[in-house]
Amino acid sequence: MASNARTEGSGRNARDIENLLSYRLLVVANLLSRSQLMRFGPMSAISLAEWRTLALVTSFGPLSVKSLARYANLDLGQTSRLVSRMCDIGLIEKQRGDDARSVILSVTASGRALHRRLWRVAMRCNNGFLNSLSSSSRRGLLEALDTLTAAAKATLKGRRCPGFARGG
Q: Which CATH number fits the domain that encloses residue 135? A: 1.10.10.10
Domain count along the chain = 1
Average pLDDT for 14-18:
79
- Residue 164 in any domain: the answer is no
User: What predicted TM-score, i.e. pTM, was given to this entire model?
Assistant: 0.76
The model's pLDDT over 64-84, given as tens digits with 9 standing for 90+, comes to 999 999 999 889 999 999 999
Confidence of residue 165 (pLDDT cuts 50, 70, 90): low
pLDDT score for 60:
95
- Residue 18 in any domain: the answer is no
**Cα dihedral across residues 93, 98, 99, 100: positive or negative:** positive
- Residue 9 in any domain: the answer is no
The 92-96 sheet, strands edge to edge: 63-64, 103-107, 92-96
- Residue 111 in any domain: the answer is yes
Full residue range of the structural domain in which residue 57 is found:
32-153
